[in-house]
Amino acid sequence: MSEKTNNTDTRCVVLTPKEGVEAACKIVQRLDLKADIEHCPLLAMAELALLHQLRRNDAAWNSAPQPTLLVLINADKLEGLPFLLRALGQYLPDVEISTLKDGQLQSMNDNSHVVDTLEDPPIIHAESVDADELSMLLDGTELGADE
């Protein structure tokens, strides 16, 4: 997550265990964020969906909407976290997910490793395709001799 998120206009959802709510409040205050602090992954998902919809509505009036943020603080101890992350990837893929490491927010949405694993695409030399073959490929019909 970039430094642009460290301002008073930023609103996010913080997910932390029940025991860590007080510490999460101090961290949110130190980072100067407006946050909804949740200790249940289901409630965090609901809050993120509402916040995401609010951001989309704001984007209709503004050209540059702010991102929807999820901050995880000691959330690896929570049951259901993998399900939450999977659901976010499926239903709210543009939610930025960050975690607290060494007192700093660090993005978990770094997909640069995916690019490193991609192989060069194979080079395919195709023969030219006439109109009949193209028609058969697209919709399974032949054009016929009169077309």
CA–CA distance, 104 with 141 (Å, rounded to integer):
60
**Res 102 pLDDT > 50:** yes
CA–CA distance, 39 with 22 (Å, rounded to integer):
12
CA–CA distance, 81 with 12 (Å, rounded to integer):
17
Give the residue with greater pLDDT, 105 vs 36. 36
What pLDDT does residue 112 have? 46
- pLDDT band for 47, please (50, 70, 90 cuts): very high
- pLDDT band for 4, please (50, 70, 90 cuts): very low
Residues of the chain above pLDDT 70, percent: 73
Which domains occur in the chain, in start order?
Answer: 3-110 (3.40.50)
Backbone angles phi, psi at 13, to 5 degrees: -115, 130
What pLDDT does residue 6 have? 43
- pLDDT band for 122, please (50, 70, 90 cuts): low
Average pLDDT of every residue of the chain: 76
- pLDDT band for 114, please (50, 70, 90 cuts): very low
What pLDDT does residue 48 have? 92
Give the residue with greater pLDDT, 71 vs 136. 71
CA–CA distance, 112 with 9 (Å, rounded to integer):
28
What pLDDT digit, counting tens, does each position of 53-89 carry?
Answer: 888 887 777 766 677 889 898 887 788 888 999 999 8
